[in-house]
Every structure is written in structure tokens, then in C-alpha cells.
Amino acid sequence: AAVEILCRVFYRPLPPPHLQPFVNPEWMTDAVFATDSKYFWRFIPDRSIRGGSRQDADYEIRINRDGFRGLEWNPDDPLEGETILAIGDSCVFGWDSDEGENFPERLIRHLEGSGEFAGEPLVLYQRGVPGYTSHQAKMILEEWGPKVDPDWIVLSVGTNDCLPCIEKNDGDISAELSASFVEPLLRLSYTALAIRDFMFVLGKNLFFEADYSQGLDFQSAPARVPLDHFEENLRFFEDYADRNRSGLILHTRQNTEPNPRLETYNETIREFGTSRGVPVVDVAARFVEYATSEVYTRPDFDPVHPNEKGYDLIAEWTAEAMRKEFKGHSEDD
């Protein structure tokens, strides 16, 4: 009993082995993430995240009681206004951006200055978590859509969807977790989880490759979310938006280097938007017009994450798409 108490106080279980490469190791060791049978991993609520990679400066991000960045949802006092639900991965979360400077918060500032959205307050719920795919984004919409009843949904996924999976894709992992009786039993005991994690780390260091990327062909290995599943998830978002009369905005995903596999997912987003009449902010194509150092935070070793200007451009383009869609709906009405 004493060992179990100590484990619960001082130990945070690691994500499942086939998911660990996708969680920022700096934050994983700082006990910022917890394993989750639904989302695979999630932020521990009411935590502060500290980092030091942004322009060689320290920064701190607060995780709210919902387990996300930004505004908390209060069921007893729902906020009135035009509600925006931003869903996605680290670029929606605001990787390496200070409070108030991430893409969704910049989006609000761009919208506040426009006549179309000047009539009532804007309410933003940020639901971005580093490493998430469209599979997890779909579950976020299932959980949070009915709670916040969004007028607008902004979806930014694809980068993690096309990454090679380890043994199982996201859908297979979900099916396995929902059908498993071993994992729920393990979660009853932090001592058992600590032993499991110790055995995995020991085995990994002694017998297995330490680097997930070694021996993987990033262009041909099975993806975390296969392309057909990715399109199904896009359809889920479109169906939800249609049923609930929400505006839906999609993003393509940027990369500093040519990435044929990611471009396949981007092209799926473009074709989906064209065929379904869903606005697409083609971030990937528009970022090419800028020097990498102009819009990326650390282009030498991070091909994905924008800097402050990059986030602001995405926010500006998204606001333009929303204003255009707003005018279209007004004319139809």
C-alpha cells in the first residue's frame, strides 16, 4: 500500500510505447502529459508548461481545468457570443508561442477588427494538443461540440496523420483499447504501470532501436491515420457542421521541405474542400511565398512550426475565409 501511494504521488505513467515518440519528451518527463484510454495522451489539467526553445528564451503556458490552453468551459455560466472552436495539433495549441500570441488568439484579434464580427463578443475555445491527428480531433469534436455549440469550427490537422505509425495506426489503437481488459486493470495500480514502464525502457535501451525514425521510410511506411480514414474524419467534421449550422474552415499544412506524403494529405484537403464547398485556407501553398526564416520558428531543425509572423499570417488568412463565408451565409439568408 505504501508503494502504491508513493507511485500515485510521485509517478506519472508514460504514454503507451507505440505513442511515446509522438509526445514531446521534454514535457513527458516533466509530467505534463497523462495517458488516456480515449485520446491516448492528454494534458494534466491545471498545469504550467515551461520551455526554453523559443528564441532562446524561457516561456510558460498554462493548461486550464479542461486540459487545454486558453478559455475554460463553464457549464453553469455559458458565455454568449459568436463561438469559435479551434481543433488540431501543436500548431493550434501554439507551439513555442507565448500567451496571447498563438494562432487562435491572433485569429480573434483579426476578427474583432472586422465589421462582420463586430456585433457580439467572440468566444474562443482552443482544443489543440501537440501530436494529435484527425482521429483525436474527431473525438474532441464529439466531446466538446455539444458542450460549446460552436458557430465556427477551425480544423488544422494532417502533419501527424501522415507520420509513420509504430505497429498500429490510431484507429487500431482505439479499437484495441476499447476492447482490452488488461489496460483498464493496469490503470488501477500505479505500481503496475511503473513496473510496465520500467520494463519497456529497460528493454528499449538494451534490445531495441532508441530512435523511432531509424529504419523507417517516412514516405511509404503505414501512416498513423491512413488516407481513407483521414477523408472519413473530414467528412465527420463536415456532417457535424451541416447538422449544427456551424461554419467549417480547413487548413492545409506547411513544411519547410518538400514532403510528398504530406502533400498527398494536403491535396486530399483541397479536393475535399472544392467538392464539398468547404473553405480551405491553403497555408502550405501560401507559406511558399515567404522565406523559411521569415515564417518558421527554427527552420534548420523544425520543419513544421511557425514563428510569430507565421502564426499571424495563418490567423489573418483564416479570418479572411471566415469573413467571406459569413457574407455568403448572410446573402443566402
Q: What is the CATH number of the domain that holds 222?
A: 3.40.50.1110
The pLDDT of residue 5 is: 81
- The H or E element spanning position 35 is strand 33-36
Number of residues written out for the chain:
333
**Is residue 123 within 8 Å of residue 71, measured between CB atoms?**
yes
**Is residue 103 within 8 Å of residue 145, measured between CB atoms?**
no
Instruction: Using CA atoms of 38, 182, 21, 254 in order, give the dihedral in degrees to the nearest 10.
Output: -20
Q: Which of 325, 314, 331 is nearest to 110 (CA)?
A: 314
Rg of the chain on CA atoms, in Å = 20
**Grid coordinates of 123:** 468566444
Q: Is residue 185 part of a domain?
A: no
Q: Is residue 87 part of a domain?
A: yes
In degrees, rounded to 5, the angle at the alpha carbon of residue 130 between the alpha carbons of residues 79 and 192 is: 105
Q: Is residue 315 part of a domain?
A: yes
Task: State the residue range of the domain holding 112.
Answer: 78-166+212-332
- Separation of alpha carbons 25 and 20, rounded Å: 8
DSSP count for the chain of H helices, then E strands: 13, 9
CB within 8 Å of 209: residues ≥ 6 apart: 215
- The label of the residue with cell 480551405 reads 280
The pLDDT of residue 182 is: 56
**Is residue 95 within 8 Å of residue 132, measured between CB atoms?**
no
The pLDDT of residue 25 is: 60
140-149: pLDDT as tens digits = 999 999 999 9
Q: What is the residue type of 25?
A: P
Q: Which of 227, 225, 269, 275 is nearest to 249 (CA)?
A: 269
- Separation of alpha carbons 224 and 127, rounded Å: 20
Q: Collect the ranges in the chain with pLDDT lower than 70.
A: 15-30, 51-57, 178-188, 200-216, 328-333
* C-beta neighbour count of 169 within 10 angstroms: 20
CB within 8 Å of 323: residues ≥ 6 apart: 111, 114, 116, 117
Specify the pTM. 0.86
DSSP three-state, residue 162: coil
Q: Is residue 106 part of a domain?
A: yes
The pLDDT of residue 202 is: 65
* C-beta neighbour count of 114 within 10 angstroms: 13
The pLDDT of residue 103 is: 96
- Separation of alpha carbons 285 and 90, rounded Å: 20
Q: Is residue 114 part of a domain?
A: yes
Q: Is residue 178 part of a domain?
A: no
The pLDDT of residue 57 is: 62
Count: domains in the chain: 1
The pLDDT of residue 307 is: 93
Residue 191, judged by CB atoms within 10 A of its CB (0-12, 13-18, 19+), counts as: middle
DSSP state of 259: -
272-318: pLDDT as tens digits = 999 999 999 999 999 999 999 999 998 988 999 999 999 999 999 99
Q: Is residue 224 part of a domain?
A: yes
The pLDDT of residue 24 is: 65
CA atoms within 13 A on the CB side of 31: 9
- The label of the residue with cell 523507417 reads 216
Q: Is residue 36 part of a domain?
A: no
- The H or E element spanning position 312 is helix 308-332
